[in-house]
Chain A
C-alpha cells in the first residue's frame, strides 16, 4: 500500500546529542512537510519542501535542519536537542498545487531527550 513511513517510531537521545529522523513516501508526492507536535496540541509546521525547494517557517529554531535527497526521502536533523525538543515529529506529504491541500501523515516519531 502506498504510504508515508517514519523511522524510528521511538527515539531516545541525550541532551545535546545530534539525532536524525527519517521519512519516506511511496505516494510520489511533490511536497513533504515536517511538523512538531506536543501533547494533545495541534501539529506545528517546521518546514516543507516543494520538490527540492526548501521553505523554512520563520519561527523554526536554527537547531532544526532538513534534507531531501530525492522525491521519496526526507530527513529531520536536530543538531543539539534540548529538553524542550521532546515531542512527536510528524512527516506529511501532499500533491503539488492543484490538489485540494490534503496532507497524508506518517505515524510519527516520538522523541525523548534525557
Chain B
C-alpha cells in the first residue's frame, strides 16, 4: 500500500510570506501531481513531475521531485490571498491497467491580507 505523508496539514500566513509544503513516501512513484482545490470546487491540476530531481516553476510556485522519486515539495514565494486553498499532492502508480493516485491528506493554506 502506497502512503503519502503531507505536511503541514494547516498553514496560515500573512500576505508576502514564503512557505513550503512537503510530501513524503517510502514508495517510489512513476510521477507526482500537485493540485489546488478551492472551496466547493474540484481539484485543479497545477503540475506533474516525472523525473527524479526535476524542478518546475509556475509563476511564484516552485515544485521539486526528489532524486529517488519518493518525495516532493511545493514552495510558494510572496504568497497572495489568491493562493488560499487546499493543496493536494498525489503520487501515481500503475495498477489494473490504469493509473491510480495516492493522495496526501492535503494542506489547507490561508493567506491573510
Contacts and interface: CB of A to CB of B under 8 A. Distances in A.
Contact of B99 (A4, A53, A99, A110): A99
Interface stretch (B11-19, B43-51, B67-75, B76-84): B43-51
Nearest to A99: B99
Is chain B's binding surface mostly helix, strand, loop or mixed? Answer: strand
A109 to B, nearest CB: 10
Nearest to A9: B40
A30 interface: yes
Contacts of A31: 98-99
A104 interface: yes
B85 to A, nearest CB: 10
A39 B72 CA distance: 24
B105 A53 contact: no
Given A40-B106, A42-B88, A90 B97 contact: no
A97 B33 contact: no
Interface in B91-112: 92-94, 96-101, 103-106, 108
A41 interface: yes
State which size class the interface on A falls in. 20 to 34
Given A101-B33, A102-B48, A107 B96 contact: no
B31 interface: yes
Contact of A50 (B97, B101, B103, B108): B97
B30 interface: yes
Nearest to B86: A40
A102 B48 CA distance: 7
Contacts of B35: 105
B98 A96 contact: yes
Contacts of B106: 40-42
Nearest to A55: B96
B42 interface: yes
Contact of B100 (A4, A45, A107): A45
21 contacts: A30-B98, A40-B106, A40-B108, A41-B106, A42-B106, A43-B43, A43-B103, A45-B100, A50-B97, A90-B42, A94-B99, A100-B30, A100-B31, A101-B30, A101-B93, A102-B92, A103-B45, A105-B42, A108-B40, A108-B41, A108-B42
